[in-house]
A = this chain, B = another copy of it.
């Protein structure tokens, strides 16, 4: 297949787009989520740029302010998310594609919610006994 810069063909991005297609099918069938580590793939910067161009941009963009900031970007394909982890200097440490209804990183974990519920109950109890 010829590789062009038109964006109409995706060269080395094709195998990953195929993997994403299978992951979307699994998500719809069983709710199973998948994560693809872009750093673990034999892709050059040009391949990665082609992949990201093929995936496009969706409506949701999120930042997680925890240590180095992480960025979550919905792609133009619902259920396909691009995650970028950076260090405190802003350098990209890792990039992942997550195929999920919502990336794990955006969800509150049950243990954390339980801690927060206990903390709020304590604060309210203090305020009401004041």
Q: Show the binding face of A for B, using Cβ within 8 Å.
A: 1, 9-10, 14, 17-18, 20-21, 24-25, 27-28, 54, 59-66, 72, 74, 76-80, 100-102, 106-110, 112-117, 119-121, 123-124, 127-128, 130
Contacts and interface: CB of A to CB of B under 8 A. Distances in A.
Contacts of A114: 28
Contact of A113 (B14, B61, B101, B128): B101
Contacts of A1: 127, 130
B101 A108 contact: yes
Contacts of A79: 108, 112-113, 116-117
B106 A60 contact: yes
A127 B21 contact: no
A53 to B, nearest CB: 12
B62 A106 contact: yes
Contact of A102 (B59, B64, B108): B108
Contacts of A10: 127
A78 B9 contact: no
Contact of A28 (B63, B110, B128): B110
Contacts of A112: 78-79
